[in-house]
Amino acid sequence: MRTATTSQINSILSKIKEFPTTLVEVSITQSILSSKLISMDKSTIEMVVNTILHNIRNVLGNSFDDLNCIAYRIDTLQNEFFSYDVIQHRLIFCGNGFDKKLSLLKEKLNSFVKSKMGDFCSLIILEKQESSQVFAFLKKQAENTTYNEEFESDKMLKFYHPDLYSISEKGWYIFNPKELQSSFVVFE
């Protein structure tokens, strides 16, 4: 089990300019059975993150500049019915003044993820959150993650690429929205 470190969460909290704030989590759940993506290597993960960010930027428009913080993590979760893990991408962003655009964002992301990736997308929207509530939400995010290095078939080994685990092990990746305007996320 991996958990978010307190220093990572404090780093996220330090970027939030004012409380209460709106916290939005975009969550994409992928399964080896339903996903149209064939491997979770570094370039595929970067494509997923950059696509989510592109949709957020397009829907929020100028409000994207007002976001305080964007953070991303990828986890594996035990499947309830089968013996393999599912992959969950979690991208959160915090700020104020974009609440009216969230229903459009949810619609666009759901449509894209389902049609292009064959996966499931959900948005969690928490309005008027104080720092202690944001801290508790972020701390709880990784409590149910698993880490499975043993796979039985070549197909599973290809889907659960070693890059997935090296990126996953680092926990939250924290981005400055202003720096994302003209560049893409690349995981080192």
CA of residue 129 relative to chain centroid, distance: 19
Q: What is the token pair recorded at 16?
A: 């939030």
28-67 pLDDT, tens digit per residue, is: 998 887 888 888 889 999 999 999 999 999 999 888 888 9
Is 163 within the bounds of a domain? yes
Q: Which two tokens stand for residue 75?
A: 């986890």
Q: Do 58 and 21 contact (CB within 8 A), yes or no?
A: no
Look over the chain and give the mean of its residue pLDDT values, rounded to a whole number. 84
Q: How many domains does the chain have?
A: 1
Q: Using the predicted structure, report yes or no on whether residue 187 has a pLDDT greater than 50.
A: yes
Domain, as residue range, for 12: 6-176
Q: Identify the CATH number of the domain in which residue 22 sits.
A: 3.30.70.60
Separation of alpha carbons 150 and 180, rounded Å: 36
Query: CA–CA separation, 149 vs 48, rounded Å?
Result: 22
Please give the model's pTM, rounded to 2 decimal places: 0.87
Which H helix or E strand runs over 185? Answer: none
Query: For residue 182, is it within any domain?
Result: no
Give the DSSP letter string of 145-160.
Answer: EE-----SSHHHHHHS
Tens of pLDDT, residues 125-169: 999 999 999 999 988 876 656 555 555 555 566 677 888 888 888
